[in-house]
Structure 1
Amino acid sequence: MPTVTTSMISELREKTGAGLLDVKKALDEAQGNPEEAITILRKKLGSKIDKLASRATKEGLVHSYIHVGGKVGVLVEINCETDFVAKTDDFKAFCQDVCLQIAAASPSYVRREEVPEADLAKERDIAAAQMAGKPPAAVQKIVEGKLEKYYSQVCLLEQPFVKNPDKMIKDILSENVGKLGENMVIRRFTRYQLGA
């Protein structure tokens, strides 16, 4: 039976908007299969899951941040469902935290689905070449581990939060979705660095 990881739980929470315990139980019951877990959640929680995940996020903010000294600047678009939530201090604080993360950790993409297949193939080739001579089963596991590490470097949602490295940005996003009661999406960002 595959181990249910915190990243699996976070991803499923982000997709469904379901509570932490509900997601963990569903993943355990589905033996780590996310599609099956979604089906289980839909059966248990009914239309609540469908409604939250499908709710449009057309409001929000474009937030800016200039790092001390003016050498790094960030623009990020974070969407939510209502203008009311977009104006709250909690939402603005989350936007600021995301900007700080981008300034400090310099991600290239918001989510892993945005990473070009050519980049992933290159990373797989590099990792496999480093493992030359090892058994194929071990090489496959090591390559997958190195890809996960790569995602945590280049994908904003996969990065450890600079203010609390025990949590990833997607965990902070899920917490804010729960706290504010609305679907939220980090849509896109641009990071400017002087001379880069």
Structure 2
Amino acid sequence: EPAPAPAPAPEPAPAAEPAKAAASFTAKDVQALRRDTGAGMMDCKKALIENDGDVEKATIWLLQKGIASAGKKAGRIAAEGAVGQYIHMGARTGVLIEVNCETDFVARGEVFQELVADLAMQVAASESVNCVSTEDVDPVFLAKEREIELGKEDLQSKPEAIREKMVDGRMAKRVRELALLEQPFIKNQDKTVNQILQETIATIGENIKGRRLVRDNLGGGLGER
């Protein structure tokens, strides 16, 4: 009998695709992208990462996301707007927030009115929030908070440089907790309030500013009387 045919050799495994190299860009690239688009630093960094460090492609990416156009509108005067209010269930917490836009037409529109209502509800749900942006945080309060942090027992054994760095990190976190724009959006936790604001600016084509807010809890001042 003839010898059986040899078994076919196994096909070689497909070569693994080379790992994608990390995006290469510099701080100057980020600054240039911010200057050209008006977008925020973190948005510019993300755009460069998503586009392998290519500034031109990153610019297009920001425009497609509506972030670049929103940034360019940031310098325009917003003098119209609305005051939103939210009274929490049981009437124990009340919020007022002033949000400005450029025209009365937009201020009366459904998109803007919904944004104002959402921001008022966001403040009611965020107990630590007492201002709109990190720039609005009271510097006197921050100085006192920093002094308290520096005196905490867990830092006393650290070298001064390490202690200062740790306090810087804690203070940055504290500032974010106080600012409305830094909070995860109540209707979409994957985005911050600021991102929702920028998307709305891109949608309506006008600058929008959160101007001021106040939150009051029933009996909140009794301990001071």
Q: In structure 2, how many angstroms separate the alpha carbons of the residues matched to 1:66 and 1:150?
A: 26
CA contact (8 A) 1:151 1:158 kept: no
Greater fraction helix:
1
Alignment gaps of 5+ in structure 1: 29-40, 42-47
Q: CA deviation at 1:50?
A: 9.3
Q: Which has the higher contact order (CA 8 A, sep 6+)?
A: 1
Identify the residue that residue 130 of structure 2 maps to in structure 1: 108
Note if contact 1:65-1:96 (Cα within 8 Å) is conserved in structure 2.
yes
d(CA) in 2 for partners of 1:87, 1:109: 24
Select which of 71, 78, 93 maps to 2:92. Answer: 71
Q: CA deviation at 1:65?
A: 1.4
User: Deviations along 1:75-114, whole A, 9 cap, x unmatched?
Assistant: 1110001112112211111111111111111311122222
Q: Does 1:96 align with 2:96?
A: no
User: Are positions 1:133 and 2:133 aligned together?
Assistant: no
Corresponding residue of 1:44: none
Match of 2:141 in 1: 119
Asked whether 1:160 is paired with 2:178, we answer no
Runs of 4+ in 1 over 3 A off after TM superposition: 15-23, 25-28, 48-51
Q: Which amino acid aligns with 1:67?
A: H
TM-score, normalising length: structure 2: 0.64
The alpha-carbon deviation at position 27 of structure 1 amounts to: 9.6
The one-letter amino acid paired with 2:106 is V
Q: Which residue matches 1:32?
A: none
- Rg larger in 1 or in 2? 2
2:44 partner amino acid: K
- Normalising by the residue count of structure 1, what TM-score does the alignment of the two structures yield? 0.72
The answer to whether the aligner puts 1:82 opposite 2:103 as a matched pair is yes
CA distance in 2 between counterparts of 1:89 and 1:75 reads 19
Q: State how far apart, in whole Å, the 2-side matches of 1:185 and 1:16 are.
A: 21
**Preserved contact between residue 17 and residue 53 of structure 1 (Cα < 8 Å):** no
Select which of 33, 44, 62 maps to 1:24. Answer: 44
Cα displacement (A) at 1:72: 1.3
SS in 1 for 2:73: helix
